[in-house]
Structure 1
Amino acid sequence: MELQQEKKKGFSAFAWQVVIVVATAGSLFHLYTAQFGLFAAPVQRSIHLLMGTVLTLALFPFGEGKRWGHPLLRVFDLILLLGGGFACAYMAFNYKELVSHVGLPTQTDIILGAALIVVVLEITRRTLGPALVIVALLALAYALFGDYIPGSWGHRGLQIDELLEYQYLTTEGVFSVALGASANFIFLFILFGGFMLKAGVGEFFNDLANKLAGHYDGGPAKVSVISSGFFAMISGAAVANVATTGVFTIPLMKRVGFKPVIAGAIESVASTGGQFMPPVMGAVAFIMADMLGVAYIRVCQAAILPGLLFFFALLYMVHLEAKRSNIKGVSKDSLPKLSTTLRRIHLVIPAVLLIGMLVMQYSATKAGFWSIVAAIGISSFSAETRMSFKTIIMTFVDSAKTLLPVMCACATAGIIIGVITQTGLGLKFASLIIEAAGSQLFPALIMVMLTCLILGMGLTVSASYIITVMIAGPVLIQLNVDPIAAHLFVVYYAVLSCITPPLALAAFAGAGIANTSPFLTAFQSMRLAAIAYIVPFLFVYNPALIWNGSVMEIFFACIQGVLACIAVGSALMGYLGGKRTGIIVRLLLFVASAAFFFPRYESIIAGAVLLIALWSMQKFMGSVGKSCQAPT
């Protein structure tokens, strides 16, 4: 069946067999190293890149689907395969010798470095389009011709040999921490998500969420938030999650009365928000812990309260949207029985095992390995979910295909990171931002936010985080922001780039399923996720929100966050106290929400008093509310 489908897409039977063999071998390699120990960084990363290169060239042949496509053009793919494959294999088998070449590269090193960069850029173009490739080419041009740039942005300029040596022979270029994240963590958790999906956990979350929230006002939308949020916490891939759960949730939302653009936006935001929440956070949790030199559990602790605030705000806004549009829930009779649903609760055991092992400070790789084993084992409890040998192999293939955009983005991100570190651009950027902001934190935060949103567009959250934290992280740390808060600030806007135009990939995926305008869906997604654009400012100014303070300070930070969510949500949705609000009330709600952004008890109390007064007016003074209602 799968082979026939791939043939229809234009793949030869031989190419598809290559995909199956390479994806299976690569998956087994990563599972082996997860359990028995990773190889040296150059070996692990070069084998990972070799696997991805072969798969990309087989799955995305040159000229495929174009009028000028011709079988003879496969020669170009073969040349790329030989060049990139040999460069990766040469590194894997000779890395100890190659390390000694740093500073004195041979002609072979230079040629292989050039070949590898060309191949990485080409496979990135095929999987992600031209945007990231253009950024990488601009970075390479900056490295080579920086001496022609006047002022603080310029540098001495690098020779081509210097550049290629740094990119190929060190772990600061193509084989950087970005590719290391893909090779060590990301693929393993993509595999975990793939096996959990095959085991039926997606349907379980959907049924459980339906039973819990399906019968309330706007129930299917709340189901989407809960089920997509749960699954995205494990899968860590916003676009893939929209494509997986959205095919169930979006049609159901449309059926009960939600506009297609709203349905697509709700699913997109819920799937994106899962990357804010532990335990996986799109594999960023492990990368952040490694880069900060802190325990993994500390990263999860810092992320949990902001993540819960995000989902509270989203559920609240979905509730208001349902109330103002008079959208009811689904009949209880049509919902699955709770007893029937809970019979499959054993499906979450692998996720519980994953969290438990991570809390007990097992390595992320070992926890991921045993969670995958548990997912395969748990699936065998039912004939409906039991995985055959063919199913396991196809899960390897599907997971490897899902990996390709991530891996290519990470490899190309390594090129950019290499330029940043070799030219000192990161330090220059930090000093220039601080200077432009007048050493003031708030304007610096705005500039960093915009930088993260722009650099993160079209990238996976891991690649986006690594690139942006290299550039923007030092800015915040130099302004005395808590390092975890600084990194989490970058993570939030790296994730939000998935729903922020012009390259809002998660929103575009939701729009495709909802059959509506991609850009309108993206803008609606931004409105629904408004609190996520604000929360990072809250925890920068009030570190108690990331569990950095006394119990009382953390408690008041939670109250502050909840009240801010209510005020912002009501202002944006134009609904409070069971009635639509007028323009004046909405403006006053924004004033109330602004009061919650200051970590001072007087400010919080003043905002709370105003919010309660507005709610009371809306609830009990109907004539006043009606007199200032804005047109719908």
Structure 2
Amino acid sequence: MTEVRHKAEVEAQELVAQADTGARSLEGNLGIMVAVIAFVWSTFQLYVASNVPYWLFDTTGVELIFNNSEIRFIHLAFGLVLSAFAYPLFAWSRRDTIPWYDWLLAAAGAFACLYLVVMRNDIALRPGLPTQMDLIVSATGLTVLAISVYRTLGLPLVIVAGVFMFYVFFGNQSFMPDAIQWRGASVGKALWHYWMQLEGVFGVAVGVSASMIFLFVLFGSLLEQAGAGNYFIKLAFAVLGHLRGGPAKAAVVASAMSGLYSGSSIANVVTTGTFTIPLMKRTGFPAEKAGAVEVASSVNGQLMPPVMGAAAFLIAEFTGIGYHEVVIHAFIPAVISYIALVYIVHLEALKMNLKGLPKPPSHVTMMRRLMGVLAGFIGISLLGMAVYYGLGMVKVLFPQLTFAAVMGLFLIAYVALVGIASREPDLEVDDPNAPIKELPRAGDVGRTGYYFVLPIVILIWCILLERFSPSLSAFYAIMAMMFIVLTQHPLKAMFRSQSWRPAAWQGILDFTHGMIGGARNMIGIAVATAAAGIIVGTVSLTGAHQMIGELVEFLSGGSLIVMLLLVAGMSLILGMGLPTTANYLVVSSLMAPVIVALGAQEGFLVPLIAVHFFVFYFGILADVTPPVGLAAFAAAAISRGDPIKTGVQGFFYSMRTVLLPFLFIFNTDLLLIDVDAGHAFVVFIVAVVAMMLFAAATQGYFFAKSRIWESLVLLLVAFTLFRPGFWLNTVQDEYVVATGPAIVETVLNAPAESEVRLMIKGPDFDNPDRMTTRTITLDIGNETGKDWLEENGLSYFDEDGTIVLDEPFPGTKFSQDFQDFDFYGDKPVVIEKSEVPADRMPKEIFYFPALLLLGVVILFQRRRQTQPAF
């Protein structure tokens, strides 16, 4: 049995290697060569992220400064070379050597990328006029990229990118349906667009990969190499292992902590699942359910800020909002999703009457335990306040010495926490198949690694307080992490009065492996973002998203809910088999504009960040969903369960994640948009309660096994808590509507700091026989509505009681937004109606009948309850 389990773990490790770091196992000179290239890649990315190039130029006159485009070219060159060396091309290819064709592909990929660096000045002088050499280089680069994507990520992304390229070259042919035809592009124009400029392969996605994603992946690699991954797993087990279904709850929490820095759901499954899945099975979970818990929690790690599977930086880039705002908006949905998963595990444990793992003997009373929990909560709160206010005070007191002061505080705290850790034995990686006689004490485990929190504190300080760029914030966090990796073992040795030299060598080895591991983890991301650039480039060249929007509009029949369901399904399909970054790039490029455009036509205006989160959530669910759910296959390899059943069960556990996007689309309070601190706390508490009720309803168990009517009532209560505005809209109109000349009165008389919505209707610019609509919001500032209209270039006139809109002046706020309208056709563009928010009762009033219904369900279930509910 032990051999079977070991084989399962090896298979899982091979799966994550194939998906993330490369399946080749090279030794000798070849292994050293690949390791050196990976180390140099990490060093290069740190070099361009630092101030060293400018310091070098100021002190020595040597100019080794790379601009943004050159960094992208070199970044992808490293990715293509390492993909050829680290990943075998075919399933039957040897794993212990590099065949001749891979040397050729590596050289060709590097040449195609570095050609753009060497010839950059000449290329800039002939924009859009490629030479024969330009076309050869572009074709070579795209071919090598396609092969690299195939060998690192498999066929799905190659097929998707290939379909889009086919559309560019052949989208004007007669065999294409009329509805999706476009004017077409020549070979020269397409190749130039894809490779020779920053619109295709080397577009925004590769730019974000080179400037931000790499640094955060490297930070996670160093954190993992330092032992933080094992620390988080053991801490979660020490805290939660004694509860019902303790190993499963610990798996959820450990995956959440791994998600703070991990960029891969598959790696998350294997890292934590190798330990947690066997323990879950030993405590009574069936193989498929044990694997499903790990899959659901690991995939959710891609939704956990601050990294979000490396997609947070892309979301910030595409939505145009600050990275720190993305982190804030993503926080509540991610946290309540994890809380709900812990509760789902608890309900499963109740249904199976499972017990927890044995915990250390303790004479602590229940009161002291409660006091300990309270002290822990207060401690975390004080830590947060210390970071925010304490470091903020340092900034006020020492404005010129803030950085030095924070680094000094970091050093003092680090030495003190390492001293505390040195009094405890170092954590070892346990054998998950070995019997556990009792759990370790949470305090003992905690003391061994408190200092791992310090680099994360620095990261948060840089992002939220100093408002540094994500790349600069990650750079400083990496510097702190490097310091810890290099010094933690020697410092512990000195505190323990041991020789520090062997420990120092261990620190150097950990640092080297962390640098190499970070680069190898980036191979798939680098080529994935480049391939996704083909899709983004195709959309910008052809306007393919408009065609998809028309298809969705036709299929939805104007129904907003049907439209969202179609977009969710398409995002799920498009995300199958893709890593997180490529997944987000594909779904956001194609599906996000559809929601924005069709929503505006129906008068449904939603913040852009909510739209991007919506498609991102459903794209990520592809990692769970059969038949392509890669994370489910990784978990099944460890649990020895059926991968399809594991995926189905994992998707069932992920129903709460399916629900969330629909909720924050209609209730943006969940994303903390325009919400103050007090309201945010209420939103969080209500959302947690609602999500737990939803989990209880879908699991068919609350205080006891639920009857059908009880589950339906729980769903109704959860819906009401999540979206009380739905019921308010049924009893009171959301807006005061005006038509005809009354529109003018509404707008002109709008007071300062008010909001007016206008629905514009007119002939479509591309198809004058088709009428299109768009809803805009006028956010009136400290002025009157009349002044606001004049400042933003909107002019109108009354034509027989119809308010006709003139074309906005070029350069004004709405000149770009109204390009879809034909202002010079036979039919005018008109303001169909105006809407002003109505003065209504608070929507929270509907919480009271919902809670009353909840009380009724609890009353009925308590009579049938046979065991404690918590």
State TM-score, norm by structure 1: 0.92
Summarize the Cα distance change of 1:550–1:361 in structure 2 as closer, same or farther, 3 Å threshold.
closer
Does the alignment pair 1:147 with 2:172? yes
Summarize the Cα distance change of 1:105–1:238 in structure 2 as closer, same or farther, 3 Å threshold.
same
Q: Deviations over 1:61-91 (max 9, x none)?
A: 4446359x999x9332233223222111111
Aligned to 1:629: none
Does the alignment pair 1:352 with 2:377? no
Aligned to 2:256: 229
Deviation at 1:606, TM superposition (A): 4.0
Q: Which runs of 5+ in 2 are unaligned?
A: 1-16, 54-64, 361-437, 493-502, 600-604, 726-842
Aligned to 2:443: 339
What amino acid maps onto 1:449 in structure 2? A
Q: Bigger CA drift: 390-399 or 47-56?
A: 390-399
Aligned to 2:312: 285
Q: Bigger CA drift: 563-572 or 357-366?
A: 563-572
Q: Distance in 2 between matches of 1:106 and 1:399?
A: 37
Q: Distance in 2 between matches of 1:490 and 1:254?
A: 34
Deviation at 1:604, TM superposition (A): 4.3
Of the two, which has the highest radius of gyration?
A: 2
Asked whether the 8 Å contact 1:567–1:611 carries over to 2, the reply is no
Q: Distance in 2 between matches of 1:153 and 1:147?
A: 9
Asked whether the 8 Å contact 2:130–2:192 carries over to 1, the reply is yes
Q: Deviations over 1:86-109 (max 9, x none)?
A: 111111222233233322111111
Q: Distance in 2 between matches of 1:165 and 1:32?
A: 30
Q: Distance in 2 between matches of 1:166 and 1:427?
A: 20
In the TM superposition, what are the counterparts of 1:101-140 in structure 2 within 5 Å?
Answer: 101-140=126-165
3-state SS of the aligned residue for 1:158? coil
Match for residue 566 of structure 2 among 429, 434, 447: 447
Aligned to 1:23: 38
Q: Distance in 1 between matches of 2:36 and 2:674?
A: 52
Match for residue 125 of structure 2 among 93, 100, 121: 100
Summarize the Cα distance change of 1:427–1:102 in structure 2 as closer, same or farther, 3 Å threshold.
farther
Does the alignment pair 1:245 with 2:272? yes
What amino acid maps onto 2:695 in structure 1? G
Aligned length: 617
Q: Distance in 2 between matches of 1:26 and 1:7?
A: 16
Match for residue 692 of structure 2 among 566, 589, 597: 566
Deviation at 1:247, TM superposition (A): 1.2
3-state SS of the aligned residue for 2:171? helix
Q: Deviations over 1:500-555 (max 9, x none)?
A: 22221222212212121111111111111111111111111011111124547645
Q: Distance in 1 between matches of 2:683 and 2:595?
A: 21
Q: Distance in 2 between matches of 1:394 and 1:283?
A: 21
Q: Distance in 1 between matches of 2:856 and 2:74?
A: 63
Does the alignment pair 1:48 with 2:167? no
Deviation at 1:31, TM superposition (A): 1.0
What amino acid maps onto 1:113 in structure 2? S
Deviation at 1:445, TM superposition (A): 1.2
Q: Deviations over 1:421-452 (max 9, x none)?
A: 11110233234323433444322211211121
Summarize the Cα distance change of 1:276–1:51 in structure 2 as closer, same or farther, 3 Å threshold.
same
3-state SS of the aligned residue for 2:306? coil
Asked whether the 8 Å contact 1:542–1:557 carries over to 2, the reply is no
Deviation at 1:393, TM superposition (A): 2.2
In the TM superposition, what are the counterparts of 1:508-519 in structure 2 within 5 Å?
Answer: 508-519=633-644
Deviation at 1:405, TM superposition (A): 1.8
Q: Bigger CA drift: 332-341 or 375-384?
A: 375-384
Aligned to 2:715: 590
Q: Distance in 2 between matches of 1:70 and 1:619?
A: 63
In the TM superposition, what are the counterparts of 1:516-527 in structure 2 within 5 Å?
Answer: 516-527=641-652
Asked whether the 8 Å contact 2:225–2:513 carries over to 1, the reply is no
Summarize the Cα distance change of 1:234–1:535 in structure 2 as closer, same or farther, 3 Å threshold.
same
Does the alignment pair 1:74 with 2:99? yes
Summarize the Cα distance change of 1:70–1:317 in structure 2 as closer, same or farther, 3 Å threshold.
closer
Deviation at 1:454, TM superposition (A): 1.3
What amino acid maps onto 2:460 in structure 1? I
Q: Distance in 2 between matches of 1:494 and 1:83?
A: 33
3-state SS of the aligned residue for 1:388? helix
Q: Distance in 2 between matches of 1:314 and 1:518?
A: 20
Match for residue 391 of structure 1 among 486, 510, 513: 510
Q: Distance in 2 between matches of 1:70 and 1:544?
A: 54
Compute the RMSD of aligned alpha carbons: 2.6
Summarize the Cα distance change of 1:610–1:13 in structure 2 as closer, same or farther, 3 Å threshold.
same
What amino acid maps onto 2:230 in structure 1? E
Asked whether the 8 Å contact 1:598–1:604 carries over to 2, the reply is no
Summarize the Cα distance change of 1:416–1:211 in structure 2 as closer, same or farther, 3 Å threshold.
same
Summarize the Cα distance change of 1:30–1:66 in structure 2 as closer, same or farther, 3 Å threshold.
closer
Deviation at 1:123, TM superposition (A): 0.8
Match for residue 532 of structure 1 among 657, 660, 667: 657
Larger helix share, 1 or 2: 1
State TM-score, norm by structure 2: 0.67
Aligned to 2:109: 84
Deviation at 1:283, TM superposition (A): 2.3
Aligned to 1:400: 519
Aligned to 1:159: 186
Aligned to 2:48: 33
Q: Bigger CA drift: 8-17 or 399-408?
A: 8-17
Does the alignment pair 1:472 with 2:591? yes
Aligned to 1:544: 669
Asked whether the 8 Å contact 2:324–2:463 carries over to 1, the reply is yes
Q: Which runs of 5+ in 1 are unaligned?
A: 626-632
Aligned to 2:373: none
